[in-house]
Structure 1
Amino acid sequence: MHSVSPYLMRCFNPDADGKQQQQRYHVLDKIGNSDLFELIKNFINSNLGEYKIVDSSKQVYQFSDLQYNDETREITAWFNVGSYGMKADIINIKTGEIDFEKAQNNAEIIKHYVHFFVPKGFNEAIAFTHTYRGIGIKTLFLQLFSDYFGKATKLVMQMNPLSYDNAVNAWLDATAKEVKLTKFVGVKDLADQIKLLGHNEQELIIKPPRNSGLGKLRDYLNKNSEQFKAIEIINEYGAQIKTVVEMNGKKKTFNIGNNSSSSLCEIELDEEEIVYNEGVPDYVSLRKWIRGIVREYSSSMYPSLTIEVA
């Protein structure tokens, strides 16, 4: 239900023709007279408070709870986003009664957590964006920030999915403890359709024998492995396939299978480490959890360097 997606932020250097690979992108704290850390911080700060409207996508947005650390060069905030444009009824799931009639000009606001790490002296930064029930905000954020970034630098910001091969290598050898298959089943009874909003959901959890495992995480990404072939088969019957892996007593859940946009571009929130307030992740516990992931990414991406983070 709740997950975060990691992205790599870069800025191409248009004067890089003929230069070495590492010079094709700007060092992000030296983009001319600009520093990406300061640009992100100032952009978010300028969008605190009053909601703003994006007519093209019929969305409204604002930022809140901005926090930043000049030493570790991390920035965190809530990116509060809603959509408008269609009338809808808001019902009480316990009674089936309408509690509120959402008008065409009303927008339901969802709090999305964003987290940025911009290490000094590097040509790349890491960003995490929060997704709820498959609804994310990366496209909207990049659209808005790209305009701001372009005006400040006359350049283009890239924000691409951070793939497993250069980010979470440590977890590739983690043991898979569970495979979860979620299947959506239509319901025929009209009363059940109203209660369940049109569908039922079944979850199959596959667990290994005691003191055993279901292979390594890397097995589920290897097209020649038995695990990958099995996922291909059961993928036809389910809407979501996830694997729970464990390493050094810690667990993480990754989306796998053809239905995920990228095998390891979504990491589910750890239900044991994050507190929820009426379904919304607690800011403090979520920030602490993601800072741990940032530390893991940094040690994997820059193993020979000491990067101050978290």
Structure 2
Amino acid sequence: MYSISPYLFRSYNKNIMGPQGRHYSRLDDIAGYDLFTLLDDFIKKYASYEINDNTKQVYRFENVFIDQGSRTISVWFVVGTYGIKTDIIDIDTGLVNFRKAENNAEMIKYYMHFFIPVGFDEAIVLTSNYRSSGVKTLFYSLFSKYFSSKTKQKLQMNTLSYDKALNSWLDARMTEIRCTKFNGCKDITDQLTLLGHQEQELVIKPQKNKSLGRLRDFIGKGDKLEAIEVLFETSAVIKSVVELDGKKRTFRIGEKATNVLCEIELDDTVVMTNGVPVFSSMQKWSEEIVKEYAQRMYPGLSIG
């Protein structure tokens, strides 16, 4: 259900020339502004619900956590859409529990995590996705306008591939391959549907004392990837579970992974309540992801 997509913040300035010919401002000194402070002020602007009639969206920030010492901001970005009348049913009985009117919006919580260290021209942004739907476009459209109005510079928010965080994950042992929305065995699928099971998942594990291979074996082209090509036609999503030093990460793999290593599935250390991650648990897990990036991106920086 939930996953995390990592991004980079940069502030483009054609009038400066930084290390390696980079035209980016230090993010704690952008024409006299600090990105950390700008982001804090921006979030406070949307403490109450904002309605956008053009996009039929309503949104606000809530449960804001700001740590000036570590220069970290964690927050829920609560977003909903309206404009269509629908029935809300009880999946157990099939009966209508609620009739959603055109002016009703189902509000979904999306977790956002920002790390903006002093002295660097890049910052890390983690945004959560729900059912492969995220809030990056909405957030960027709002914040980039606010940012430019203050600094007169252009904010960039680009995808940050996970292979930039820690290459050792590419050599991590793969413990499972999960094929979600699997429909390869029609007769079995039909029987499960009769039991009320609407989504099937095929889980492939190695034989005892053997391995499915390394994550890098399934990136790009290779024998391992070709060996599971048959699954592409029977599954909506193919994921790999890899393990390193007692930690696990889940990545999308194969030809249907639109941005491989750029979407990280939540693992079982994140506590869920009513289908939503617990904020403190999501925060702790995200801090671990940020640390893995920081080791490569910010040489010499100590992360607590």
The CA deviation at 1:212 is: 2.1
Number of aligned residue pairs: 298
Q: Is 19-28 or 32-41 further displaced after alignment?
A: 19-28
Q: Partners of 1:154 and 1:171 in 2: how far apart?
A: 39
Distance 2:40 2:293 in 1: 22
* Distance apart, 1:22 and its partner CA: 4.8
Percent identity at matched positions?
A: 49
| Structure 1 residues without counterparts, runs of 5 or longer | none
Q: Give the secondary-structure state (helix, strand or coil) at the position aligned to 2:217.
A: helix
2:10 aligned partner? 10
What is the rounded CA distance, in whole Å, between the counterparts of 2:140 and 2:30 in structure 1?
18
Structure 1 residue 259 displacement after superposition: 2.2
Structure 2 distance, partners of 1:20, 1:168, is 23
Residue 292 of structure 2: aligned partner: 296
Q: What is the 5 A alignment of 1:70-85?
A: 70-85=68-83
Instruction: Determine the structure 2 residue equivalent to 1:103.
Output: 101
Give distance in 2, aligned partners of 1:75 and 1:69: 6
Q: Which amino acid aligns with 1:252?
A: R
State yes or no: 1:307 paired with 2:302.
yes
Is the 2:182–2:202 contact (alpha carbons within 8 Å) kept by the matching residues of 1? no
Separation in 2 of the partners of 1:118 and 1:170?
25
* Cα distance in 2 between the residues matched to 1:11 and 1:258: 33
Give the whole-Å Cα distance in 2 for the aligned partners of 1:260 and 1:64.
Answer: 32
Deviations 1:179-211 (A, max 9, x none): 11123559999xx69x77xxx422111111112
Deviation at 1:301, TM superposition (A): 2.4
> Equivalent of 1:243, from 229, 240, 243?
240
Q: Which residue of 2 aligns with 1:286?
A: 282
Q: For 2:16 and 2:225, how far apart are their aligned partners in 1? A: 40
Per-residue CA deviations over 1:204-252 (Å, capped at 9, x if unaligned) read 11111112221111111141x2122234442222110000000011111
- 2:251 counterpart residue number: 254
The answer to whether the Cα contact below 8 Å between 2:163 and 2:261 also exists between their aligned partners in 1 is no
Question: What is the one-letter code of the residue matched to 1:53?
Answer: I
Mapped partners of 1:298, 1:139: distance in 2: 25
- Looking at structure 1, the residues matched to 91 and 277 of structure 2 have their Cα atoms a distance apart, in angstroms, of 21
Deviation at 1:175, TM superposition (A): 0.6
Contact 1:182 1:240 in 2 (8 A): yes
What secondary structure is seen at the aligned counterpart in 2 of 1:65?
A: strand
Q: Take 1:43 and 1:108, find their aligned partners in 2: how far apart are those partners?
A: 24
1:128 match: secondary structure: strand
User: 8 Å contact 2:13–2:154 — kept in the other structure?
Assistant: no
Q: Aligned residue for 1:165?
A: 163
CA distance in 1, matches of 2:263, 2:37: 27
- 1:142 aligned counterpart, secondary structure: helix
List alignment gaps of at least 5 residues for structure 2: none
CA distance in 1, matches of 2:182, 2:214: 27
TM-score w.r.t. length of structure 2? 0.92
Structure-2 separation of matches of 1:72 and 1:232: 44
Distance in 1 separating the partners of 2:261 and 2:217: 13
SS at match of 1:41: helix
1:44 aligns with 2:43: yes
Distance 2:12 2:35 in 1: 13
CA distance, structure 1, for counterparts of residue 115 and residue 230 of structure 2: 38
What CA distance in whole angstroms lies between the structure 2 residues aligned with 1:301 and 1:91?
47
- Scaled by the length of structure 1, what TM-score is found? 0.90
For residues 29 and 233 of structure 1, the distance between their equivalents in structure 2, rounded to whole angstroms, comes to 50
Moved more, 53-62 or 118-127: 53-62
Of the candidates 116, 119, 125, which is equivalent to residue 117 of structure 2? 119
Give the superposed CA RMSD: 2.1
The 1-side partners of 2:256 and 2:123 are apart by 27
User: What is the match of residue 263 of structure 1?
Assistant: 260
